[in-house]
Amino acid sequence: MKTHFITYFLLVFFISTKLFAIDTKAEQAAVIDYDTNEILFEKNSNLKTPPASMTKIMTVYAAFDRLQNTDLSINNKCSVSAKAYKMGGSRTFLEIDDKVSIDDLLKGIIIQSGNDASIALAECLAGTEEDFAKLMNFYAKRLGMKNTNFVNSSGWPHKDHYSTVFDLAILSNSIIREFPELYLYFSDEEFTYNGIKQPNRNKLLSSVQGADGLKTGFTKASGWGIAATAKRDNRRITVVINGTNSSRSRMNESSNLINWAFSQTSQRELVKKGEMILQADVWLGNKPRVNLVSSKKVISTLSFDQLQLITSSIEYKKPIEAPIIKGNIYGKLLIKIEGKPNIEVELVAEEDIASINPILKAFAAIKYLIFGTSLDE
């Protein structure tokens, strides 16, 4: 029995409009479909760069994990140390020796990007900021952030403090997925502490449809960056960029990428679970053919140019020798999409097919060898 390859068009779309391309002025960028986890666009996405205040997403992730999985409460109080009080950069304006709730510290970190609040929370949860950074790196490794190392909780510049826009996208989607209720902190547009009201530095919340997070960042070394996400019609897109030359450029580039992803890409169900893909000949069975069906549902996010032509091939041994057991794997569907890794789908038998008795086997074998089958390609 030899292996046959059948090539056919799985899906063909002809687009009459001009194909759409996207680029960005940001030095690094990653655009990811939240549901399928597919990269829709990337530019230097694995280049190590200072994450600046986007670091605070991990600071908050660690706090959320404690809040969700321990007895820690948002009403617990944390003391403000001299180190936290003296910290420069963006601030929540905590006072030394203040007792501040974790709720207020989270708002100070997320909305106001407070470096002082970041240190206060780190010291509250781990004793020292250095020990908290070890916890941050533990989470980073667990999440698969392969090109990331944290040395502080605020994103303050340090030669050994780095990440990538792809790793930050992994972190962003993880915090949304794992802590859906606590994630609502990121959509708050302003926060007042110590009589000082500050707006959320994420301007996309009020300018981009469906935007509900996450965090901006800036250092001289990295430029202006943002981890941003938006949800429209039950579909979420996450964008992380770094290396723009102004806060305005940061907003324009991130909003352009979000709007492009929603308008120029779409989720498509390529194969349904249990869908019949092929009728295969059966060798010496009590039925002449068996349906091979898809073992899983396949959803992919595709741009319009990718939708023009999708090809696929089927690999299986022909004929399939009985007995055949329902649910066992007898073939493979390979879906090929330009610019994406090939998708493999195992094909399983839809039903049991028993072997015929020895006498009938001999006649069936002779018949098959002499006449073959009408399904020969």
Of the candidates 113, 154, 294, 303, the residue annotated as catalytic is 113
> CA–CA separation, 257 vs 250, rounded Å?
11
Of the candidates 43, 56, 107, 318, the residue annotated as catalytic is 56
Show the tokens assigned to 222: 């990295």
Tokens 């020969």: give the residue: 376
DSSP letters, 191-259, are EEETTEEEE-S-THHHHSTTEEEEEEEEETTTEEEEEEEEEETTEEEEEEEEEESSHHHHHHHHHHHHH
Nearest to 330 by CA among 313, 317, 339, 345: 317
> CA–CA separation, 149 vs 338, rounded Å?
34
> CA–CA separation, 22 vs 43, rounded Å?
11
Order of all β-strands in the sheet with 39-43: 39-43, 28-33, 235-244, 223-232, 211-219
The answer to whether 116 and 84 have CB atoms below 8 angstroms apart is yes
For the question of residue 53 being annotated catalytic, the response is yes
Of the candidates 53, 153, 163, 312, the residue annotated as catalytic is 53
For the question of residue 313 being annotated catalytic, the response is no
Q: Which residues pair with 162 in a beta bridge?
A: 149
The residue type found at 187 is: S
Active site residues: 53, 56, 113
